[in-house]
Each structure stands twice: as structure tokens, then as C-alpha cells.
Structure 1
């Protein structure tokens, strides 16, 4: 049980490492797929939100386990298209920060949302994240490759969240509850920090 607990905390820390390692890649440094793949990994807000989506999906279980991440990626692609096209979406940065706060709280409290509510929440936040990715696409990047890159990177972060959920479950009911609340609480606190500009 202790090893599963440690593994869960290590997985959360590992998921956050890419965000701590670098800022957003510079324009012209990479193009197309590689730049798109790097973008979701380069911001703590994106990394935490995506991992929490995976944990949330695992907590809900059943077909929701794959419907939640899939819906997020597909709706995020729509948001990305809006960003690439230069169509204005208001409150993007606030929406992204709130996604970390809300998803972290949902995970910490182990909220058992209905499928419709879960997909609605996920879809709303996916628009903001996708728009940010699309709006920051460098001019020399191919849109299709760039979009494919950020979609795959996002899916991998969701898989990391699902894996964290699995490890939490393996830790046992008591220890798992502690790790879940800790992981969700850390994300929520970080989200408040991002929202207020302290992070």
C-alpha cells in the first residue's frame, strides 16, 4: 500500500515536470507537430487540468472513463480551430485557471457527476484550453500537424491522469482517499495561484 501511495504521488509530480522545465516554446523554434505537441506540456495550468481530467474520468468509471477524455480532446480541437482562425473567445485565461481549480476540487471531493454534467463541464473547459493552443500557433507551423500534436499530447496527459487514478485505487480505500484529496487539493491551490497571478 505504501508503494502504491508513493507511486501515485510520484506520478503527479512527474506529470508536472514538463511545465516546470520550460516556458512556451519560442515562435520559429519548432513548427507543426513538434510545436503543437510541446505546447500543452509547457504550461502548469494545462498539465494540471489534463491530469485531473484523467483522474476524474477514472473516478467516474464505466464508459465515462473513455468518454470524458475523448470528449475533451474533440471539443478542444474545436476550440483550437477557433484560435487558429482568430475568432475571439472571451475570458480564456480565466477559464483555463478556473478549470484547474474546479477539476482539482472535483477530484478532491470525489464528485460523482452524471454523464451529462461531466461532459458539459469538460466540454466548457476544453474550449478554453483548445483556443489557447490554437491562438498561440506560430505563423510558420502547419495547422494540421500542430493540431495533431497538441491533441496527442493532451491525450497522453489524460492517460497519465488515468494511471494516477489507478494507482490511487490500488493504494486502498483509506490511503487512496488521502492521495486523491491531496492530488486534487494541490491542483486546486495551484489553480487559485494561477487565477490570482501568484503562480
Structure 2
């Protein structure tokens, strides 16, 4: 557990919250690599961890909602929609996901899914807005969607481990994630 928390702290400190500048957007490989920036990485893992608290098929609702919102937001961004402070909102989404873990069962599932959808749309807007004119949206999008799905699955696995540990491990993960989100927000 200490290693996981140290990794979260290092990722938050090592990568700027703005993962949407200075990288290519023309290929599958660039799309695959993009979600590995701290803000995206932590958010994708968090959705999986949060989803692990559900039972059965409901575990896949969070990742499914996120992937749908991500794609919808990316299409809107590629079409020219831009919102002010998107980068800050993305960083804030990491802190919100930490708060969702801390809230546990006190947060109604539908409210949690609505927060997941909103965050996913913001992440997608940033992905879509960064495409240059004539960029290969489908190839790049396939990459960032594939990596996002893998990160959600990893988060589900991590969430399952945390669920089996003492409840304090779950709360510590939520607090660490919230703190990482606040650090990213301060850097945005």
C-alpha cells in the first residue's frame, strides 16, 4: 500500500497538470501515450477504483460512462467547442474522485456516475480541442480510448485489492488521490 501511495505522490509531483500541450496528436501511438500524464492517469485509475465498490456488472458502469463521455467530449472538442478553465477542471476532477472514494456509500451511485460523466466530458474536450486541422481523429482517439480502458481495468483491480484490505486503506487511497488532485490544481 505504501508503494502505491508513493507512486501516486510521485506522479502528481512529476507531471504538470496540463497534459494537453507539446505532444503529437496524429497517430495511434500518440493517442495510446496521452492518458499517461498525471491528471489523466490518476483520474482513469480513480474511476476504476471507485467502480470496484459496486457489485457484479455494475462495476463496469463507471468505466463505461467515462468512455462514453470521453468520446462525446472529444467529438465536441474536435468540432470546436472549448470551455474556459478546462485544464483546471480536469485537475479538479482528480480531487473530486478522491472525495468520491472518501464518501463511499454515502454518495448515491447515480450522483457518482453523473460526476464521472462530467469529468469524462471535460477530459474528452481537452483531447478533441488539441487536434490540429486535418489531424487523424479516429486513429488518435482509438489510442486514448484504448489506454483509458486499460487504466480503468487496472483501477478496478486496485480497487478490489483496497476493498479486501482494511477500510482505512480505501480512505487513505481517497485522501491521497484528493491531495494529488489539489496539487495538480495548484499547478494548473
Relative distance call for 1:116 and 1:110 in structure 2 (3 A) is closer
Q: CA deviation at 1:123?
A: 0.7
2:52/2:156 contact within 8 Å kept: yes
Residue 55 of structure 1 deviates from its aligned partner by: 0.6
Task: Indicate the residue corresponding to 2:150 in structure 1.
Answer: 156
CA contact (8 A) 1:16 1:47 kept: no
Deviations 1:72-101 (A, max 9, x none): 001110101111122122331222122111
Matched, 1:90 2:84: yes
What's 2:57 paired with? 63
Aligned position for 1:181: 171
Which deviations, in whole Å up to 9, do the C-alpha atoms of 1:134-180 show, x marking residues without a partner? Answer: 12235564110111111111111111110111111233xx2xx2221
- Alignment CA distance shift 1:19-1:74 (3 Å): farther
Pick closer, same or farther for the CA change 1:17–1:101 going to 2, 3 Å: closer
Q: Does 1:146 align with 2:140?
A: yes
Cα distance in 2 for residues equivalent to 1:15 and 1:144 = 33
Answer whether contact 2:49 2:159 (CA < 8 A) is retained.
yes
| Cα drift, residue 19 of structure 1 | 9.1
TM-score, with length taken from structure 1 = 0.80
Gaps of 5+ in 2: none
SS of 1:109's partner is helix
Following the alignment from structure 2 to structure 1, what is the Cα–Cα distance between the partners of residues 153 and 118?
20
CA RMSD, Structure 1 to Structure 2 (Å):
2.8
2:176, 2:38 → 1: CA distance?
12
- The answer to whether the Cα contact below 8 Å between 1:54 and 1:157 also exists between their aligned partners in 2 is yes
- Please report the TM-score for the alignment, with normalisation by the length of structure 2: 0.84
Gaps of 5+ in 1: none
User: For residue 128 of structure 1, what is the aligned residue in structure 2?
Assistant: 122
Between 1:32-41 and 1:86-95, the stretch displaced more is: 86-95
Aligned equivalents of 2:70 and 2:139: distance in 1?
15
